[in-house]
Amino acid sequence: MESGLGVPSLGLELPPFLIALHLLVTRTCKMDWRSMGSALLFPVQMLYYLLKAGARLLLPTRLRDLSADVVLITGGGRGIGRHLALEFAKQGAKKVILWGRTEKCLKETCETIRGMGTECHYFLCDVGNREEVYQQAKVLREKVGDVTILVNNAAVVHGRSLMDSDDDALLKSQHINTLGQFWTTKAFLPRMLELQNGHVVCINSVLSLSAIPGAIDYCTSKAASFAFMESLTLGLLSCPGVSTTTVLPFHTNTEMFQGMKVRFPNLFPPLKPETVARRTVEAVRTNTAILYLPWTMHVLIFLKSFLPQQALEEIHKFSGSYTAMNTFKGRT
């Protein structure tokens, strides 16, 4: 006879640890062949994807055709956002939509894109305001159509240490840089999933993975933004036709980080916004999940994985990132 747990009963009461050991051995022996096959196949799959990634570096990749895409860019009036709008139009997007808070910049960028022969519209929208995002998303769908490429680019930086930071400014950074992505993605992702056609892009920063002093609001919000995109990407694995791209650029030469300086500008020159825009559109068209700019940022992330904290601190001091924000002025 056996007990209800499948343990042989000989009229004796077995100690709990023997019962637990018996159950463990029994369940291990009953492991089905499918599970064993998956375990054996796993390293083969890893090797395949490594080889596939290497082949993509050497062989031409099939590009996404943008001629049917409606692209929405938040913070699209200036800086990287403006160059993204121009680049998407240049590479054949059907329609380009701009969201932002400054009408003058939005209007100028919109007129430039229309001059290139691409349909363009702009809407005033603060992505940090949830109700405003949902309302403008509804208006956009009614006037323009379904968004198939969402570029979360809008961001602000306060540029102060924690104790020197204004509380409202800290909240503003989190609302725009992080929560804004929740609201825009929730507004447009459901329709992408229905159409089985969509791409969500996040213009992040390498500071999300390697923070610096003097920009605690920006670094924190971008780290949260990176986690948001990582979770979203994994959550979409079983959703055909919908992908993501996270862009992690080094210091970019825009008004937002005006005054920021590194110790060796010739060795680590700031990126041009048009370069970030071009590489971002290329990443979307090749369905690249994560893009580091420049490629040397891979080295920084690798070093952070094993170097002791003291060594990392010396790297910050040597490179000048420790004091980079001391001359920060920001957008005027």
pLDDT digits (tens, 9 = 90+) for 14-44: 666 666 666 655 665 555 666 666 766 777 7
Torsion angles phi and psi, residue 95, rounded to 5: -140, 145
- Per the structure, the count of domains in the chain is 1
Summarize the confidence of residues 75-104 as an average pLDDT: 97
Better-scored residue on pLDDT, 286 or 48: 286
User: 175: domain CATH number?
Assistant: 3.40.50.720
Q: What percent of the chain has pLDDT over 90?
A: 63
**Is 46 inside any structural domain?**
no
- 318 membership: H or E segment, kind and range: helix 309-319
Closest alpha carbon to 73 in 93, 53, 56: 93
**Is 235 inside any structural domain?**
yes
3-state secondary structure of 152: strand
Q: Are 260 and 328 in contact (CB under 8 A)?
A: yes
Give the span between the Cα atoms of 74 and 224, in whole angstroms.
18
pLDDT per residue as tens digits for the range 266-307: 777 889 999 999 999 999 999 999 999 988 888 888 888 889
Confirm whether 218 is a catalytic residue. Answer: yes
Cβ neighbours of residue 220 under 8 Å, at least 6 residues apart? 173, 174, 211
**Is 121 inside any structural domain?**
yes
Amino acid at 200: V
**Is 108 inside any structural domain?**
yes
**Is 48 inside any structural domain?**
no
Please give the radius of gyration of the chain, using alpha carbons only, rounded to the nearest integer: 25
**Is 227 inside any structural domain?**
yes
State the pTM of this model: 0.84
| Selected catalytic residue, list 48, 122, 134, 218 | 218
- 3-state DSSP percent of the chain in helix, strand and coil, to 5: 50, 15, 35
Annotate 175-207 with b (16+ C-beta within 10 A) or e (fewer).
Answer: bbbbbbbbbbbebbbebbeeeebbbbbbbbbbb
For 91, the domain range is 70-327
Q: Are 189 and 144 in contact (CB under 8 A)?
A: no
Amino acid at 97: I
**Is 77 inside any structural domain?**
yes
**Is 304 inside any structural domain?**
yes
